[in-house]
Amino acid sequence: MILRAKHHFFIYPFFQKYTLWKVKKIFHEVKILGELKDNNKPLLIISNHVSWWDGFWLMYLNLKLLKRKFHFMMLESQLRKFWFFNYSGGFSVNKNSRTIFETIDYTADLLSDTENMVIIFPQGEINSIHNQKISFEKGIERIIKKLKNEITILFVANLTDYFSNPKPTIFQYIKEYNYEKFNFLDFENSYQKFYAESVENQIKIKNS
């Protein structure tokens, strides 16, 4: 059986407050670049996976903009090690087990509720922030094809720069992915294009 997400009455609010405090303490500022129309649909977040910070950055984005119940897919081995994430919306995936089908069904079920958001890191593991090629694993396609309702898919690219500050700034690029009929190759290519454009925009940003 998979580890299903829980939202503990103390741990989940603590994680939210800790995120705001930690981000403010460690980073110079956070800039959210892009727009999202809140159409009251469940949210599927597709984001690059570059560090231990990713979950905190996306929680920050949720608290400031998205305002949904926070869920994220995490490798079972890591979730058992960092058990407290299970009580803050984390649920397990084990790619080498038949429970992968249970995870797919569970994720699709979460995305049937308009109050929910689900984060998936399509690379499946942490990659260098300098890696410009974002390759998707097939599990996302299976999840989306399981859905019986409309959702909003939001692309996110988290990038950082120091410029002349001793603390880095987080740049969160966001863009809604619009489609009529889901096609996995177009989905993957669209995120890759979005990510490349985000990096290009980042290079153009001048120190302020």
Question: How many CB atoms are closer than 10 A to CB 44?
Answer: 23
Report d(CA 45, CA 42) in Å as an integer: 10
Nearest-angstrom CA–CA distance, 102 and 25: 38
10-residue block means of pLDDT along the chain (208 residues)?
97 97 97 91 94 94 97 93 95 91 96 97 80 83 92 96 95 94 93 96 81
3-state helix, strand, coil in the chain (%, to 5): 40, 25, 40
**Domains with residue ranges and CATH for the chain:** 11-204 (3.40.1130.10)
pLDDT at 208: 55
Q: What is the pLDDT of residue 118?
A: 98
pLDDT at 179: 87
- Written as six digits, the tokens of 120 are 């998936």
CB contact at 8 A, 124 and 95: yes
The amino acid at 146: K
Q: Which pLDDT belongs to residue 124?
A: 72
Q: What is the per-residue pLDDT for 132?
A: 79
* Confidence at residue 207, expressed as pLDDT on a 0 to 100 scale: 62
51 contact partners, CB below 8 Å, separation of at least 6: 126, 129
pLDDT at 27: 97
Q: What is the pTM of this model?
A: 0.95
Residue 116 is inside which H or E element, if any? Answer: strand 116-120
